[in-house]
Structure 1
């Protein structure tokens, strides 16, 4: 019953205007930060280390509020895809069209930043996209996410061998595939390379898929504008990634870092990017 009521509440919130939903998300972010020592212990050191290293203005409370808006943006985009598409400003789209016209498909990389859920919907307006995702361990939450993400021309596949095969077939058809490159892969599926100066277990999968048929790789960001004003979506084509898994993963992390620095307060600092997944070898520092 509690799960049912929670799903109803989430759907009800998503029906509100974007500005209201984002304010609600900001409040959730503040509550999570103030109410959870574990959340603070994970969030603040990761955010501050990057901002201080790059001599950027320190805006911890803006980052905390934005962390809640990552969730609320996603809810609203899922519930209101057509309204959301009208609120996204797309830059460098000619770069994306030129890449897909090469005929080898497109590897789309979208870090957890701002309104990242709008990115595959923009692409799906123009060509099919197969998106790799990790199912939630909580069945009710997985149902909410899968129902929310369902959209024409978008096909979601799980992070397993079947999903990788589906993505390979999509590239063979000249279509786009999408990967969240800042997620920690399962043990045995990644390599340890630096991410903002610390060893992070990183997937070399984008390079493996792209190098099979010289497929273009494009990094996308969706920076949140002012409250209720939507998002600025930008695209950057990456140079060909190395055939060496370690080098390719390091190149990938450098590209993610550049994407994060577009709007550092809007990145998912509450996620432990440096965790040691079960079954993975120990990081070099150990």
Structure 2
């Protein structure tokens, strides 16, 4: 067998020229007026529904599993709206990262800020329980308007894309922390900082337990309770929603009381239940195009 080709790691690697061209186009698209940007994103989402069959299948499967109370027609409609919303999110990312003229803070409503103020008045760091709504990147910009914070992320395998995301987010957050760097997270929280951290994706079964998410076993990392226990931080839910007319809302929930309880499985199940509560408020804006149930305790393949 031949050697497997290594991924490019240098930004100057010729294999990354298409990525650089894509980033340039991304920047140009980001200069569009916000209303046109979102409308274009919705058009992209409608196109993706027909062309991106794999992502459509993933979204449809997730919706079918998580919303069994809906009729088949209602499930299909929700999956369709989810893919359209994801298209909006891609174009939002372009505008959020590259269009600094738009005053997004003027389009923002905030709920629950008192929960962060109370935690800090008590001398605690704040671990924001983030959620993968598809407005994630516009959300990072909006959160930066609300409070100084640090954000946890997973490095992208493509160094050009990784640079785009890092530079885009660093315009609005104090720092970004590799999700593997638990020590840095704890240091920041012990200093009383605010740290955004989202545990609601399937990162594999290592350091994870299977607990329900919308009633379906979901491999969920247990690091949230470990970070909270070691840092003594308040864990505060943080959701962000796209509203009609290009407006946005950030909602902070009350700090989780008696958390962690000392039982990783109970703590992680509580995290999933909390996230589910906020997702149900606007389910079409959640990142259902991700294989949330990729790993199953019985080895079942739900996305076949």
- 2:293 alignment partner in structure 1: 274
Alignment of 1:91-130 (within 5 A): 91-125=111-145, 127-130=147-150
TM-superposed deviation, 1:156: 0.5
Is 1:83 the counterpart of 2:103 in the alignment?
Answer: yes
Alignment of 1:71-220 (within 5 A): 71-80=90-99, 83-125=103-145, 127-151=147-171, 153-160=173-180, 163-220=181-238
SS in 2 for 1:117: helix
Gaps of at least 5 residues in structure 2 are 1-16
- Looking at structure 2, the residues matched to 89 and 116 of structure 1 have their Cα atoms a distance apart, in angstroms, of 16
TM-superposed deviation, 1:127: 4.9
TM-superposed deviation, 1:153: 4.6
The structure whose Rg is larger is 2
Alignment of 1:48-67 (within 5 A): 48-53=64-69, 58=75, 59-60=77-78, 61-67=80-86
Q: Note if contact 2:151-2:173 (Cα within 8 Å) is conserved in structure 1.
A: no
- Looking at structure 1, the residues matched to 172 and 103 of structure 2 have their Cα atoms a distance apart, in angstroms, of 15
Name which of structure 1's ranges 106-115 and 251-260 shifts more when overlaid on structure 2: 106-115
Q: Note if contact 1:107-1:178 (Cα within 8 Å) is conserved in structure 2.
A: yes
Q: Note if contact 1:120-1:129 (Cα within 8 Å) is conserved in structure 2.
A: no
Say what the alpha-carbon RMSD is for the aligned residues: 2.3
- 1:245 alignment partner in structure 2: 264
Q: TM-score, normalised by structure 1?
A: 0.88
TM-superposed deviation, 1:173: 0.5
TM-superposed deviation, 1:271: 0.5
Post-superposition CA distance 1:62-93 (Å, at most 9, x none): 22211212222222222246622221111111
Gaps of at least 5 residues in structure 1 are 277-281
Q: Note if contact 1:107-1:210 (Cα within 8 Å) is conserved in structure 2.
A: yes
Q: TM-score, normalised by structure 2?
A: 0.83
SS in 1 for 2:253: strand
- Looking at structure 2, the residues matched to 248 and 272 of structure 1 have their Cα atoms a distance apart, in angstroms, of 22
Q: How many residues align?
A: 278
Post-superposition CA distance 1:221-275 (Å, at most 9, x none): 1111114x22111111223233211111111110111111110011111110011
- Looking at structure 2, the residues matched to 132 and 13 of structure 1 have their Cα atoms a distance apart, in angstroms, of 27
Name which of structure 1's ranges 45-54 and 25-34 shifts more when overlaid on structure 2: 45-54
